[in-house]
Amino acid sequence: MLTKASKCPTKLLQEVSDIIVAHKDFLKYNLTSCNSQTEVANALAASDSWFILGNGPSPAVLKLQILGRSATVSEICTNADSIPALASGLRAEVGALRLSKLTVRVPPEEVQPWVDSGFRRAFTYAQFSRAPVVSNMMPLLPLSNPTEKDLLPLSQLMYAAYAKTDESLPDARSAETSLRETMAGAGGAYLADASFASGTAPNLVSACLIATQEPGQAEIVRLFTHPLYRARGLATTEIAAAMNRLSASGVKSISAWNRQGNEVVRRLLAKMGFEKRKAVVELSASV
């Protein structure tokens, strides 16, 4: 059974909290503000993004997001040693929710059992993170906090930024849909006051959008710059401005995902002190 952690019995929450506490790296990067089993259980119960699969001897804790008819599992913590059983159970439960697609992100060494279970390998991503720091940055262009009223210029910018890449979008409307979902909470609660765009609307030329899923943690969920304005330090300024705002609000960690092969973003994150936390492979299957 796949159950939202906030609706699980106290005993089951305690059991999965023990599993998480035993996986120190998982605890460190996913529940930054928690130091004990009780704190983990309380954080799970207060979140909408954590789910528990199974209630037997080896339940799995999943960070799961549902968007439209698709489900994405970005984190998995379990003591179970049978990935095929986990894959089969997860696929069945997602199918029971009348969804059509399941995407998971798993460590490279665990890919083959998922492939053997009917999942198709897609892309490899690396996650980078650091503690936000305060800096004295000098914006090259005016900075603003983008909101839904900026969706039109942002979507045109995003479409242009990804054109002629392997992540290109069909049209600006697709970009608008994606951005609208981001601001509606698809990647976690959107933090407009920590997100920044360079330029003056409607002439926006670069943007960095921030969201949060857990207390004390933030993530760069969108980062894009118009091709004619790259290599000018705009993204660097936006990330620095975001860290200033996040640091002031008590956020302990900011992270970003980078698709393998995107050397521009990798170098940018490295230059700004982000360290690689892990690599994952994205796989998907119909359900």
SS (H, E, C) the chain: CEEEHHHCCHHHHHHHHHHHHHCHHHHHHHCCCCCCHHHHHHHHHCCCCEEEECCCCCCEEEEEEEECCEEEEEEEEECCCCHHHHHHHHHHHHHHCCCCEEEEEECHHHHHHHHHCCCEEEEEEEEEEECCCCCCCCCCCCEECCCHHHHHHHHHHHHHHHCCCCCCCCCHHHHHHHHHHHHCCECEEECHHHCEEEEECCEEEEEEEEEECCCCEEEEEEEEECHHHCCCCHHHHHHHHHHHHHHHCCCCEEEEEEECCCHHHHHHHHHCCCEEEEEEEEEEEEC
Residues 7 and 96 in one domain: yes
Residue span of the structural domain in which 141 resides: 132-251
The answer to the question of residue 287 being in a domain is: no
- If asked whether residues 41 and 107 sit together in one domain, one would say yes
Number of domains in the chain: 2
In-domain check, residue 165: yes
When pLDDT is averaged across residues 99-111 and rounded to a whole number, the result is 94
Give residue 146's pLDDT band: very low, low, confident or very high (50, 70, 90): very high
Domain final residue pick, 125, 159, 183: 125
- Mean pLDDT over each residue of the chain, to the nearest integer: 92
pLDDT at 273 exceeding the cut of 90: yes
- pLDDT band at residue 214 using 50, 70 and 90 as cut-offs: confident
Provide the pLDDT for residue 281: 97
Task: Tell me: pLDDT of 48 over 90.
Answer: no
Residue 168 lies in a domain: yes
Does residue 54 form part of some domain?
Answer: yes
Domain-embedded: residue 60: yes
The pLDDT value recorded for residue 162 is 92
| Residue 104: band (very low, low, confident or very high) from pLDDT cuts 50, 70, 90 | very high
pLDDT reported for residue 279: 94
Residues 234 and 166 in one domain: yes
Structural domain includes residue 227: yes
Lookup result for tokens 């997860």: 90
Is 161 found in the same domain as 66?
no
Q: Specify which of 6-15, 88-97, 221-230 reaches the highest per-range mean pLDDT.
A: 221-230
